[in-house]
């Protein structure tokens, strides 16, 4: 018995944040939104998926952003993505180098930390 893969990442957001989530995850990051199952849609939130990449945002009533814990996304053409993120008004930050990767951080509209990594 073993864990085989990660199915999705669930991030929290405040109630009513669906529009901001769509603008950031779909429009800026380019991850298409998919419909949530009806019994889950009633809870609010939204899902973004492309192939095996699945990022789900759920409403948390006592919302607090994840400022340390974070998903790390493998990307292609990191410089172009960073330019797109900054043009949309989001701040990109850098951390210590990680051998084999170029990486940067951005926070989503709710303050959740995301790591963007491109293999060298």
Domain ranges in the chain are 9-119
pLDDT digits (tens, 9 = 90+) for 1-55: 998 999 999 999 999 999 999 999 999 999 999 999 999 999 999 999 999 999 9
Contacts with 98 (C-beta within 8 Å, 6 or more apart), sequence order: 117
CA 91-34-82 angle, 5° bins: 20
Which is nearest to 60 in space by CA: 26, 7, 25, 110? 110
The helix/strand/coil state of 86 is helix
pLDDT for 98: 95
Write down the CATH number for the domain with range 9-119: 3.10.180.10
Separation CA 97–CA 57 (nearest Å): 29
Count CB-CB contacts under 10 A for residue 99: 5
Predicted TM-score (pTM) of this structure: 0.94
User: What does 10-55 look like in DSSP terms, one character per residue?
Assistant: EEEE-TT-HHHHIIIIIIIT---EEPPPHHHHTT--EEEEETTEEE
Q: Which two tokens stand for residue 19?
A: 């529009």
């Amino acid at each position: 018995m073993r864990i085989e893969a990660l199915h999705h990442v669930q991030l929290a957001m405040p109630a009513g944040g669906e529009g901001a989530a769509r603008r950031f995850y779909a429009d800026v990051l380019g991850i298409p939104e998919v419909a949530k199952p009806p019994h889950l849609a009633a809870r609010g939130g939204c899902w973004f998926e492309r192939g095996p990449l699945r990022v789900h945002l759920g409403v948390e009533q006592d919302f607090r952003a994840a400022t340390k814990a974070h998903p790390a996304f493998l990307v292609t053409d990191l410089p172009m993505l960073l330019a797109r993120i900054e043009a949309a008004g989001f701040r990109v930050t850098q951390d210590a180098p990680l051998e084999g990767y170029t990486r940067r951080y951005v926070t989503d509209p709710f303050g959740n930390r995301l790591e963007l990594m491109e293999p060298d």
